[in-house]
Each structure stands twice: as C-alpha cells, then as structure tokens.
Amino acid sequence: MSNTILDISGLRTQFGASVIHDNLVLKVQPGEIMGIVGGSGTGKSVLLRTILGLNKPAAGKIKMFGEDITDCPDEERRKVLRRMGVLFQDGALFSSMTVAQNIEVPLAEHTDISPELRAEISDVKINLVGLPLDAANKYPSELSGGMRKRAGLARALALDPEILFLDEPTAGLDPIGAARFDELIRELRDALGLTVMMVTHDLDSLNAICDRIAVLLDKRIKVGTMQELMADDHPWLHDYFHGPRARAAQDTVAGTENT
C-alpha cells in the first residue's frame, strides 16, 4: 500500500508527568476503514484529539496528506483541516440551531458561497446520510439518538472531506440502529472514496466494516486484521477478542475461514 493518508511517527502525548502514548507509530491508507480500540485510560480520545490538532504532542510527527501538521503555519494547518470531517459522540450538534443550520456552519466558516447554495448543500448532505428532508428544520432535541448521529455525520461531510474521524459512532444505538449506521459508513466510504478512522468499543462494528484495527497497548499501538488480533496472545487482546461479547465475531470469522 502506498500514498499513506495519515502517518504518525514517534508520537508522545503526556499531561504533566503522566505519559499517555510513547513512540506511537500508525499509518492509515487511503480508502480503508481503521478501527481504534483500547482499554480504559489508553488514550483513544486523546489520540483522536491530537490528530485533529486539539492537543499538542510532546514529541513526534503527524503527517496528513504528506503535510506535517505538528509543525506548520496556521494557514497550512487550516487547509489540511478542511479536508477532514469529524463526528463526535452523540453528534455534538449546536442545540440552538436546526439541523440545516448546523450543517451550514462549516460551509459559512470555510467558504464564501452564498446562503442559497449553503442551503442546497445542506439538503444534499441530509439526503446522503438517510435523513428525511423535513429533518432540516428540526432542532437536535427533536431528534432520536440515531437521527442526531446522522445529522452530525451530515455536518462532518459538509466540506466533502477525504478522511472522516468518528468517535464512538454506534454508542447508545440499539443493535439494529448500530448495524444500519455501520452499513451507512461503509456505503459512504465506497461511494465517496473516503478514508475512515473510528474509535469504537463495538465488536460488531469492528468485524462488520473495519479493514484493519489499531489497538492501543502499553502506550503504543498494534495494528492488524480481526483474525490477526484474535490470534495474538497479548493478555488484553485475548480478553477483549475472546470474552463473551466476542462470540459473534469469533463465529463470523470462523465461518469465513471455513468457506
């Protein structure tokens, strides 16, 4: 694989004397869906925030689209950030704005297009994520949890990003809603050529749509397919992938290997 879209090398993050990541290395390829997992306190959200520029690393480099975003002028970093989309937990929508107004926020901030065109783009994104058009004029409080996530996803797609970051996208959804959201992410990846990096605890999501999985272990990261990580003898990996909640994933992998 070539043309790495995200290249992290020697990353060190810490808060005071507490070191979260040390000499962490990760490469994400264009078009893949990468899952990020790890135990409590391993710094999944810290890693995501650091990639997005919300935390400053103590050491190391983060290259996005070949540009070192840990050491570049603000204007260059801003250009790179425009090529990313982010969905935080529960959508993180502005409660005082309608869905359409939420989607138009990044368009108003990063472009000089007319209000009329912003409204048209908003309608397109609402349709793209499978929301009814009448959701445009609703406020977040009037939406179900699943609809809020889709509205947040529509906002994340407003600027036609090349890479999409998702923070626990299926958390709080029932199994049917989570499966449908997984399928939506895969369909968007295939249709738009997106690269997706998602923090999740959902084993079903990891098995259903992730090409590779990055596991935060011992302040570093181990990357592999579901099959490779399930065969690993690291104690945390064994507990995670072979516990009661992993049975469905194990059965699916076993079925795939036997076909």
pLDDT at 27 over 60: yes
Q: Tell me how far apart the alpha carbons of residues 253 and 230 are, in angstroms, rounded to a whole number.
A: 10
pLDDT score at 141: 94
pLDDT score at 104: 96
pTM, entire model: 0.90
Where in the chain does DSSP place strands (E)?
6-15, 18-28, 33-38, 59-64, 67-68, 84-87, 163-167, 195-199, 212-217, 220-224
pLDDT at 51 over 80: yes
Q: Tell me how far apart the alpha carbons of residues 15 and 55 are, in angstroms, rounded to a whole number.
A: 10
Instruction: Determine which of 9-13, 45-49, 124-128 has the lowest per-residue pLDDT on average.
Output: 45-49
Domain residue spans of the chain: 32-57+78-257
DSSP category for residue 23: E
pLDDT score at 73: 82
Q: Tell me how far apart the alpha carbons of residues 151 and 143 are, in angstroms, rounded to a whole number.
A: 9
Pairing of β 33-38 and β 212-217 = parallel
Mean pLDDT in residue range 29-53: 93
Instruction: Determine which of 5-9, 87-91, 105-109, 166-170 has the lowest per-residue pLDDT on average.
Output: 87-91
Position with higher pLDDT, 186 vs 1: 186
Q: How many other C-beta atoms can be found within 10 angstroms of the C-beta atom of residue 60?
A: 18
Instruction: Determine which of 90-94, 113-117, 233-237 has the lowest per-residue pLDDT on average.
Output: 90-94
> Tell me, which fold does domain 32-57+78-257 have in CATH?
Rossmann fold (3.40.50)
Picking from 30, 85, 36, the residue whose alpha carbon sits closest to that of residue 217 is 36
Q: Would you say 13 and 21 are in contact if contact means Cβ atoms under 8 Å apart?
A: yes
pLDDT at 2 over 70: no
The arrangement of strands across the sheet holding 212-217 comes to 84-87, 163-167, 195-199, 33-38, 212-217, 220-224
pLDDT score at 88: 87
pLDDT score at 254: 52
Task: Give the tens place of pLDDT for each residue, 181-240.
Answer: 999 999 999 999 999 999 998 899 999 999 999 999 999 999 999 999 999 999 999 999
Q: Tell me how far apart the alpha carbons of residues 24 and 26 are, in angstroms, rounded to a whole number.
A: 7
Confidence of residue 17 (pLDDT cuts 50, 70, 90): very high
Q: Which of 13-17, 52-56, 172-176 is most confident?
A: 13-17
pLDDT score at 201: 86
Based on DSSP, count helices (H) and strands (E) in the chain, helices before strands: 10, 10
Read off the tokens for 56: 């400053």
Confidence of residue 1 (pLDDT cuts 50, 70, 90): very low
Residue 197 DSSP SS3: strand
Q: What is the chain's mean pLDDT, rounded? A: 90
Q: Which residue has the tokens 């997992």?
A: 37
